[in-house]
A and B are shown apart, each in its own frame.
Chain A
Amino acid sequence: MEKLIFEYSRKGRKAHTLPVAPPVKFGLPARKSLCLPEVSEIDVARHYTGLSRQNYGIDSGFYPLGSCTMKYNPKINEQIAALADFTGAHPAENPRALLKILYDTERMLCQIFGYARFTLQPAAGAHGEFTGLLLIRAYHLDRGGVKRLKILVPDAAHGTNPASCALAGFQSVTIKSLSGGGVDLEDLKQHLDDNVAGLMLTNPNTLGLFEKNILEIAELVHQAGGLLYYDGANANATMGIARPADMGFDVCHLNLHKTFSAPHGGGGPGSGPVGVVEKLAPYLPRPVIDRRDDKYFLNDNLPKSIGKVHSFYGNVGVILKAYAYLKIQGSSGLKRASELAVLNANYIKARLQDAYDFPYPQVCQHEFVISAKNFKKQHGVTALDIAKRLMDYGYHPPTVYFPLIVSECLMIEPTETESKESLDAFCEALLKIAEEIKTAPELVKSAPHNAIVGRPDEVKAVKEPDLNYFQTG
C-alpha cells in the first residue's frame, strides 16, 4: 500500500524556498503550526503518480457498475468546461454567455424529458431527489394537503429514495414488486389514500426492466391526489425514445454525471437537475434563469419557491460538460446512445445465458441482473466472490447485492461507449469464472489474487474506521 503523504514528511524538507518575510504583529494570539506535510517536489510527484497508477477508472478499463452509467467521458467536454471564460466568470457579474448556456441546457433537458422547466441547482442525484420531494411537499401544502406525508417507494428502488423521503420529512412506504418484475398494482392500490403525497419510481427499474404498467400506475396515483416522481438514475435507456413526462411523472431528476457523460466516481462533484410539469414550476428553487428579449438573467422573484438549494446555480463546471455532450450528440445522437446502451446490455446477457442464472429472462433495457444463488448452493461461491474474481481479470466489479429483492445479485450495466471487442473480452472473463466455480471454487472464493488490496475487513471498516492521521513529531 502507498503510504500517506504525511508519512513522507521530514522536518524542514521543502519543495520551494520562499523569501523570508519580516515578522508582522497583528495583535492576535500566536498561530499554531498548520501541520502540513514537509516534503520535496519529487516526493509529491512520486506519491501522487503512484496513487494514480493504483486507481481504476473508465479511462483504464471497462467499468460495468450497474445503475451508475459509467460511460466514457469525452475529453472535449473537459476542455470546454476549462475555458477561462467560464472558470474565471464571477457569478455576481451575471456573465451573459454562461447564463445563456445554462438557459439553453435547461431548454434541451425540457425537450428530451418533456418538462416545462428544470432547475440545474441540485449537486447530485440524491440532492435532486430531496429537492423534488420538497417541491411535492410545497405543492400539497399550497392546496391544504397538510396530511399528505406518505411517499410510496417500490422495494426495487435505489436506497436513496427512502433516505430522501426521511430527510424531506416524509414517511416512505414500501410497495412490493411482482415476481416477474414491476410494481405490484394490487399492493399499490392498498396503499393509496388521501395521505399519499406521491410515488417515486425508476423506469426502467433497477432490474433493468421497463415498467409496462406505468400509465395505469400514474392514473391510480393521480386519482388519489398524489404526484409521480421519476428517479432518473436509469435515464440512459430512454433518451429520445420515451419521455418521463409523457409517462405521467410530474417531477424528475437526472444525473448529468451519469447520463450526460460528466465524470463521476470518487465523490463528485455531480449535477442532479430537477424537471417539473407546469403546475409545479412556481415552487422551483430560486433563482431560475429567465430570458427577456435577448437578455438572460437570474430571476429571484418567485414568491412560492422552496428556496435556494445550491450557491449560484449549481455545479456549473459539471453542467458545462453536459452541455458540450448534448450539443455534440444532438437529438439523434442521444437516441442512438440509448439504443446502443440497451443493445450492449442485451448482447452480454445473451452471451452469458447458458453459464449464469437470469431471474428475469426477458429482454432487458440498459442493465440486467444475474443471481448467483445456485452457485452459492452448489459450490459455496457468492456474488461477492465472483465480483472479486473479476478484479483478477482486470475489470471493475459490477454492482453486487443490489437490488435487494434479488438474492446473490450481480447488476451489470455496460453503457453504449464499449465496443463489441471489449464486451466480448468481458464475457470471456465471466464465462471462465463460471467454469472456475465448478472446477476450482476455492480459486474464486479466495480472489482477488492479483489486486493491490485483497479482501478488506469490511466489518472493521464500518465499525472502527480510522479516518484521521495525526502527525507526530
Chain B
Amino acid sequence: MSNIPAELKYTKEHEWVKIEGGIAIVGITDHAQAELGDIVFVEMPAVGASLSQHGDFGVVESVKTVSSLYSPLSGAVSAVNEALNSASELVNKDPYGAGWIIKIQGFDAQELNALLSAEQYKKEIGE
C-alpha cells in the first residue's frame, strides 16, 4: 500500500498538488515513484514558463522508463526544485516533501475541482 496523504489533490497521471499560501506545489505520488523505480533524472521547465492544466511540463526518467509529467493546474512556474538536478533520488525517498518538483503561481482555484481526492486516487490505482 502506498502513502496517499488525505489533504492533497491528485491527477490520474500520478501527480499531487498542495496549496500553500497562494502557491501550488507539485510532485509525483509515492505510488508513481515505486512504479518507476530508481529515478535518475528529472527534466523541469524554466521558471516563468506557462502551464496548462493536464499539459506536460517535464520528464522523469528512471532506470526502467521515461515518463512525461502533467501539470495539475494552469498557471506560471514560480520555482523548480534545483536540488533534483544533483539528487534525483529525493523523488524516491521523499515524494511529498524534499522530492517536490515545481511550484505554480497564478492558478485558478476552480481547476482544483477537476482533480482527484485522495480517496478517488486510491481507487484509480486499485488500492
Instruction: Identify the A interface with B (CB < 8 A).
Output: 159, 174, 384, 400-402, 404, 407, 458-459, 462-463
Contact = CB atoms under 8 A, between A and B. Distances in A.
Interface string B61-93: 001111110000000000000000000110000
21 contacts: A159-B66, A174-B68, A384-B64, A400-B64, A401-B64, A401-B65, A402-B65, A404-B65, A404-B66, A404-B67, A407-B35, A458-B38, A458-B63, A459-B38, A459-B40, A459-B63, A459-B89, A462-B41, A462-B63, A463-B40, A463-B88
Nearest to A173: B56
Contacts of A458: 38, 63
Contacts of B63: 458-459, 462
A459 B41 CA distance: 10
B10 to A, nearest CB: 18
Nearest to B88: A463
Contacts of A404: 65-67
Nearest to A458: B63
B21 to A, nearest CB: 34
A462 B65 contact: no
Contacts of B88: 463
A466 to B, nearest CB: 16
A289 to B, nearest CB: 38
Contacts of A159: 66
Given A384-B64, A458-B38, A462-B63, 19 more contacts: A159-B66, A174-B68, A400-B64, A401-B64, A401-B65, A402-B65, A404-B65, A404-B66, A404-B67, A407-B35, A458-B63, A459-B38, A459-B40, A459-B63, A459-B89, A462-B40, A462-B41, A463-B40, A463-B88
A444 B66 CA distance: 25
B88 to A, nearest CB: 8
A174 to B, nearest CB: 7
Nearest to A376: B35
User: Interface size for chain B: under 10, 10 to 19, 20 to 34, or 35 or more residues?
Assistant: 10 to 19
Interface in B14-65: 35, 38, 40-41, 63-65
Nearest to B40: A462
For the residues of A in contact with B, the DSSP-based class is mixed
Contacts of A463: 40, 88
Contacts of B89: 459
Contacts of B41: 462
B51 to A, nearest CB: 15
Contacts of B38: 458-459
A37 B125 CA distance: 56
A462 B41 CA distance: 9
Contacts of A384: 64
Nearest to A463: B40
B87 to A, nearest CB: 10
- The 6 A-B residue pairs with the shortest CB-CB distance, nearest first, are A458-B63, A462-B40, A401-B64, A459-B38, A401-B65, A463-B40
A402 B89 CA distance: 23
Contacts of B64: 384, 400-401
Interface string B83-109: 000001100000000000000000000
Nearest to B64: A401
Q: Which residue of B35, B38, B63 has the most chain A CB atoms within 10 A of its CB atom?
A: B63
A463 B89 CA distance: 11
A384 B38 CA distance: 13
A393 to B, nearest CB: 22
A389 B88 CA distance: 29
A394 B95 CA distance: 39
Contacts of A462: 40-41, 63
A159 B68 CA distance: 12
A163 to B, nearest CB: 10
Contacts of B67: 404
B1 to A, nearest CB: 11
B16 to A, nearest CB: 20
Nearest to A155: B68
A295 to B, nearest CB: 49
Contacts of B35: 407
B126 to A, nearest CB: 9
A462 B64 CA distance: 11
A463 B35 CA distance: 20
A459 B88 CA distance: 10
Of listed B40, B41, B89, residue having the most chain A CB within 10 A: B40
Contacts of A174: 68
A335 B1 CA distance: 50
Contacts of A401: 64-65
A380 to B, nearest CB: 12
